[in-house]
Every structure is written in C-alpha cells, then in structure tokens.
Amino acid sequence: MGGTVTVTDGKVTAAAVLPVVLRGRLAVVAVLAALVVVVLGVRYAGDAGPGRTDARIGEAAYGVGAPWWHIASATDFLGDPAGALLLLTAVLVGCPTVRRPRAAVLLFAGPGLTVGVTRLLKPLAARTINGDDNLAFPSGHTAFLAAFALALALALLAAGRYGLGPTSGTVLALGAACAAGALMGWAQVATGAHYPTDTVGGCCTALAVVPTVAWVVDRVADTRRRQPGGAGEQRR
C-alpha cells in the first residue's frame, strides 16, 4: 500500500493508519465533505420541517413495514452507545489486524470525535424534527457508522496485505464509509428520526473528520518515536 512502516531489528512494528498513497486524495475528500456539511447546515439552519428533496425521499422511505422496520430498528441500535460498543468490541476481537495500537486508537477516536463534532454542529444548525427539542442536523447515528466503516477500512489498508494502489484503496475506503452511511441513513429516515439531508450531513462529517484524525494519530505516533529515548526505530 505504500504506507509508512516503522521497523525494529528488521521487524515491522507499526504502520500508518493513513497510508501515504491515500493522503492527498482523502485530504481533498475531507475538504469537500466539510464544505457539503457547511452548505447544508446553512441551507437548513433553523428549519423545523423537511425541504423539497427531503419530502420526496422521505415519502418513499418512511413508515416501512415488517421486516424492513425491524432491520431499520436493528441498524439504528448500532448508533446507540450500547450498540456502538458492541460493534467496536466485535471488530477488535474478531479482526487481529486492527489490534495494532494506531489502528485501535483510530477505531475509537475516529467515530468518537466524529459524533462529538455532530453534537457541536447540531445547536449551530438548530434544525429540528419531531419537536423543538430534537436537533436533527447532522445525523449522529449516520456519522458514527460511516466513520466506523471508514476507520476500519483505513486500519485494514494500513495492514498492507492487499497491494491496493491509490485509486483502488480510495475506492475501498470511501465505498465502505458511503455504504455504511447509506444503510444507517436509510434506517434514520425509515424510522422518522432524521430528514435525508441530515444523514448526508452525517456521512460527510465522517468523511471530513476520520481522515484528519488518522493523520493526527500518525503524526503523534511518529513524533513520539523520533524523540530521544523512544523505541529507536528506523524508517524504510
């Protein structure tokens, strides 16, 4: 993958969670995604109802019957604290490649900070649904699952086992995030918890935050390794 690797006595000990070949492309994606969040936030600021696009999409997705309602409810659970912890635990236990320190930090910090950003943005946008107390934009549930999928994809890419180039690696990372975001977005609209544009804002928040967090994780880890008294790795 061309990711940064640290080596001690000839053994690989760490890999950058944001592979070098993806940094430029994901930086562009992060900037564009942040712009989408800002534009949608300004467009729907203070609204208490759906826009024209929201109404059209929501009409088709809202109020699904069994078994789709049960699927939507189960998907929604993954965005709750208990469901999120269960999902993180299952991945860490079942996927050895993400137990590396940098990958594990990204898997917790990426989704966690993404949800934190959505909570900061909600009162700024002040868009509501189902009552004045329910802030809607951007969707935290959608942001979490998209961020988790993106962080997981980057962690797996960092393992360097797939030999993917910059294009295929970017497609894998973004595809995972968008697929997870679309699934949770559908669940949020189907259950009436969010407007469709809220879920787009949530997914884009993840695309903006997670690559940034991955870059910071690598920078902090690399800086600590270069400090006197560190592990003494050399680059290759």
146-172 confidence digits (pLDDT tens): 999 999 999 888 766 566 788 888 999
What DSSP assignment string belongs to 30-47?
HHHHHHHHHHHHHHTTT-
Count CA atoms closer than 13 A to 100's CA, side-chain side: 23
Q: Which strands form 11-15's sheet, in the order they lie side by side?
A: 11-15, 5-8, 234-235
Angle ∠(174,32,178) on CA atoms, nearest 5: 25
Instruction: State the burial class of residue 92 (Cβ atoms within 10 Å of its Cβ: 0-12, 13-18, 19+).
Output: middle
Which 8-state DSSP code applies to residue 65?
-
Which 8-state DSSP code applies to residue 5?
E
Q: What is the pLDDT of residue 155?
A: 87
Distance between CA atoms of 174 and 83, rounded to whole angstroms?
23
Q: What is the pLDDT of residue 13?
A: 45
Q: What is the pLDDT of residue 10?
A: 39
Q: What is the pLDDT of residue 189?
A: 94
Count CA atoms closer than 13 A to 103's CA, side-chain side: 24
Low-confidence ranges of the chain (pLDDT < 50): 1-13, 232-236
Cis check for the bond before 67: say yes or no (omega within 30 of 0).
yes
Which 8-state DSSP code applies to residue 160?
T
Q: What is the pLDDT of residue 2?
A: 41
Q: What is the pLDDT of residue 228?
A: 64
Q: What is the pLDDT of residue 111?
A: 95
Tens-digit pLDDT profile for residues 90-112:
998 888 878 788 999 999 999 99
Q: What is the pLDDT of residue 138?
A: 97
Q: What is the pLDDT of residue 7?
A: 39
Q: What is the pLDDT of residue 14?
A: 59
pTM passes above 0.85: yes
Q: What is the pLDDT of residue 60?
A: 80
